[in-house]
Amino acid sequence: MVVLLRSGSGGGQFCAEIQAILSFDAICIGCSLWWRLFPKMASHIVGYPRMGPKRELKFALESFWDGKSAAEDLEKVATDLRASIWKQMADAGIKYIPSNTFSYYDQVLDTTAMLGAVPERYSWTGGEIGFDTYFSMARGNATVPAMEMTKWFDTNYHFIVPELGPNTKFSYSSHKAVNEYKEAKALGVDTVPVLVGPVSYLLLSKPAKGVEKGFPLLSLLSSTLPVYKEVIAELKAAGALWIQFDEPTLVLDLDSHQLAAFSAAYTELESALSGLNVLIETYFADIPAESYKTLTSLSGVTAYGFDLVRGTQTLELVKSAGFPAGKYLFAGVVDGRNIWADDLATSLSTLQSLEAVVGKDKLVVSTSCSLMHTAVDLVNETKLDSEIKSWLAFAAQKVVEVNALAKALAGQKDEAYFAANAAAQASRRSSPRVTNEEVQKAAAALKGSDHRRATNVSARLDAQQKKLNLPVLPTTTIGSFPQTVELRRVRREYKAKKISEEEYVTAIKEEINKVVKLQEELDIDVLVHGEPERNDMVEYFGEQLSGFAFTANGWVQSYGSRCVKPPIIYGDVSRPNPMTVFWSKTAQSMTSRPMKGMLTGPVTILNWSFVRNDQPRFETCYQIALAIKKEVEDLEAAGIQVIQIDEAALREGLPLRKAEHAFYLDWAVHSFRITNCEIQDTTQIHTHMCYSNFNDIIHSIINMDADVITIENSRSDEKLLSVFREGVKYGAGIGPGVYDIHSPRIPSTEEIADRINKMLAVLDTNILWVNPDCGLKTRKYTEVKPALTNMVSAAKLIRTQLASAK
Could you read off the pLDDT of 427-465 as tens digits, one per residue? 999 999 999 999 999 999 998 788 999 999 999 999 999
Cβ(102)–Cβ(79) under 8 Å? no
Question: Within the chain, what is the greatest distance between any pair of CA atoms?
Answer: 89
Contacts of 410 (CB under 8 A, 6+ apart): 41, 42
Question: Residue 179's pLDDT band (boundaries 50, 70, 90)?
Answer: very high
The pLDDT of residue 471 is 97
**3-class secondary structure per residue, 148-192:** CEEECCCCCCEEECCEECCCCCCCCCCCHHHHHHHHHHHCCCCEE
Active site residue 686: no
Pairing mode of beta strands 242-246, 328-334: unpaired
Across the chain, mean pLDDT equals 92
| Residue 563 marked ligand-binding | yes
| Residue 688 marked ligand-binding | yes
To the nearest 10 degrees (0 to 180), the angle between helices 617-637 and 437-444 is 90
The C-alpha torsion from 149 through 150 and 155 to 159, rounded to 10°, is -40
| Residue 589 marked ligand-binding | no
Q: What angle do CA 763, 473, 710 make, to 5 degrees?
A: 70
pTM of the model: 0.89
The pLDDT of residue 691 is 57
Asked whether the predicted pLDDT for residue 78 surpasses 70, the reply is yes
- The CB density around residue 764, as the number of other CB atoms within 10 Å, is 11
Contacts of 518 (CB under 8 A, 6+ apart): 481, 785
The pLDDT of residue 721 is 73
Position 92, amino acid: A
Asked which of 39-43, 258-262, 460-464, 526-530 is least confident by mean pLDDT, the reply is 39-43
| Residue 28 marked ligand-binding | no
| Residue 462 marked ligand-binding | no
Asked whether the predicted pLDDT for residue 629 surpasses 70, the reply is yes
Percentage of the chain surpassing pLDDT 70? Answer: 94
* Cα separation, 52 vs 548, whole angstroms: 25
Q: pLDDT (tens digit, 9 = 90+) per residue, 194-217?
A: 999 999 999 999 999 889 988 999
* Cα separation, 572 vs 442, whole angstroms: 11
The pLDDT of residue 720 is 67
Question: Residue 510's pLDDT band (boundaries 50, 70, 90)?
Answer: very high
| Residue 608 marked ligand-binding | yes
The pLDDT of residue 448 is 75
Asked which of 399-413, 516-530, 683-697 is least confident by mean pLDDT, the reply is 683-697
Q: pLDDT (tens digit, 9 = 90+) per residue, 466-496?
A: 999 999 999 999 999 999 999 999 999 998 9
* Cα separation, 15 vs 37, whole angstroms: 9
| Residue 531 marked ligand-binding | yes
- Give the HSE-up count for residue 36: Cα atoms under 13 Å, Cβ half-sphere: 10
Asked whether the predicted pLDDT for residue 522 surpasses 70, the reply is yes
Asked whether the predicted pLDDT for residue 13 surpasses 70, the reply is no
* Cα separation, 543 vs 579, whole angstroms: 9
Q: Which residues pair with 304 in a beta bridge?
A: 280, 329
Residue in 44, 373, 529, 742 annotated catalytic = 742
Report DSSP state, residue 445.
T
Q: What are phi and psi of 112, to 5 degrees?
A: -60, -40
Asked whether the predicted pLDDT for residue 5 surpasses 50, the reply is no
| Residue 287 marked ligand-binding | no
| Residue 478 marked ligand-binding | yes
Q: pLDDT (tens digit, 9 = 90+) per residue, 709-727?
A: 998 887 666 666 777 777 6
The pLDDT of residue 716 is 62
- C-alpha distances in angstroms, 449 versus 623, 667, 670? 15, 12, 9
| Residue 156 marked ligand-binding | yes
| Residue 699 marked ligand-binding | yes
Cβ(603)–Cβ(650) under 8 Å? yes
